[in-house]
Amino acid sequence: MASLTWVVSFIAVTAIIFFTGTESDTSLACSVIQGLPGLNGRDGRDGINGLKGDPGAQGTPGSSRTPGMRGSIGPPGKEGPKGNVGLNGLPGQKGNSGAQGVEGPKGEKGDNSGQSATLTNVLNRLSSLERQMNQLKQSISSKMKALLFARGATAGEKTFVTSGKELTYEESKAMCLKAGGQLPLPRNSEETKAILDIAQYYNLHVYLGITDIQTEGVFRYPDGKTLTYSNWNTNEPNQDGDEDCVEMLLSGKWNDRACKDKRLNICEFS
């Protein structure tokens, strides 16, 4: 194979030299003496391996031998190297609650050395009063709701309450005084409305605490002072006969009226 390669190479090189020399003849136009053939080249390198050949014919079976006795178990091998750290295990189940701890020792008494005994006493009474005040507020609030239900109304600091009775002026006045109040003395529209709410609920006219008994034609409060607010009905007071008292009509307007007539008793408490 290597020899064939060298032969092919030699022919190729000779052909190149021959054709190159022909070209030179035409261009240079000079004479050339042909030399001796060169030495053969060295063998070429081995080619690549050929394809795998077909398998050979099956050989004849060899003669059988009797197997020997099994040897004894050898000594244990040396301890192997330490293994890698294993994977983390699954989380365990929640444990039971622990027992309650023992109560700790009582703390030391606070330092109030800078506070006099008198001041401590006053502060204790003050906090006690605050507690009682809150209890009273709640109690009053609850009782007021009961009192005002159907029988009363409020306006500012005033509370108007009815006994539900129909009385003469003197009877009604006496009942209110006995109860710790007085006949109504409305001094503004808010108070007029509160009295009117009760009057309208009972559908009855109401005596006020205003008269002109002291001086005919001059209406006054019980303390003798003249009116600072009035709500007379049209053409009133008309002194129709002997009318020294004042009633509130269901319109809220005032009419001078005979004091002997019976009217719904309402008292004012402040």
Are residues 249 and 233 in contact, defined by beta-carbon separation less than 8 angstroms? yes
Are residues 267 and 160 in contact, defined by beta-carbon separation less than 8 angstroms? yes
Contact positions with ligand MAN (CB under 6 A) in 209-238: 236, 238
Q: Which of 139, 240, 242, 250 binds Ca ion (CB under 5 A)?
A: 240
255 scored as a contact of Ca ion (CB under 5 A):
yes
CA–CA separation, 179 vs 264, rounded Å? 16
Residue count at the site for Ca ion (CB under 5 A)? 5
One character per residue 52-91, x = contact with Ca ion (rule: CB under 5 A): ----------------------------------------
CA–CA separation, 243 vs 208, rounded Å? 13
242 scored as a contact of ligand MAN (CB under 6 A):
no
Q: Report DSSP letters for 72-91, one per residue.
A: PPPPPPPPPPPPPPPPPPPP
Q: Which is nearer to ligand MAN, 162 or 255 (CB)?
A: 255
Give the residues across from 153 on adjacent strands.
160
Q: Which residues touch 159 (CB under 8 Å, ≥6 apart)?
A: 144, 147, 148, 152, 153, 268, 269, 270
242 scored as a contact of Ca ion (CB under 5 A):
no
Are residues 159 and 269 in contact, defined by beta-carbon separation less than 8 angstroms? yes
> How are beta strands 206-215 and 245-248 bridged, if at all?
antiparallel
CA–CA separation, 157 vs 169, rounded Å? 25
Q: Which of 43, 170, 190, 240 binds ligand MAN (CB under 6 A)?
A: 240
Residue count at the site for ligand MAN (CB under 6 A)? 6
By beta-carbon distance, which residue lies closest to Ca ion? 256
φ/ψ (deg, to 5) at 167? -135, 160
Q: Which is nearer to Ca ion, 236 or 268 (CB)?
A: 236
Q: Which of 243, 244, 266, 268 binds ligand MAN (CB under 6 A)?
A: 243
Least separation in angstroms between residue 233's CB and ligand MAN is 8
Least separation in angstroms between residue 237's CB and Ca ion is 6
Least separation in angstroms between residue 185's CB and ligand MAN is 20
Residues that bind ligand MAN (CB under 6 A): 236, 238, 240, 243, 255, 257
Residues that bind Ca ion (CB under 5 A): 238, 240, 243, 255-256
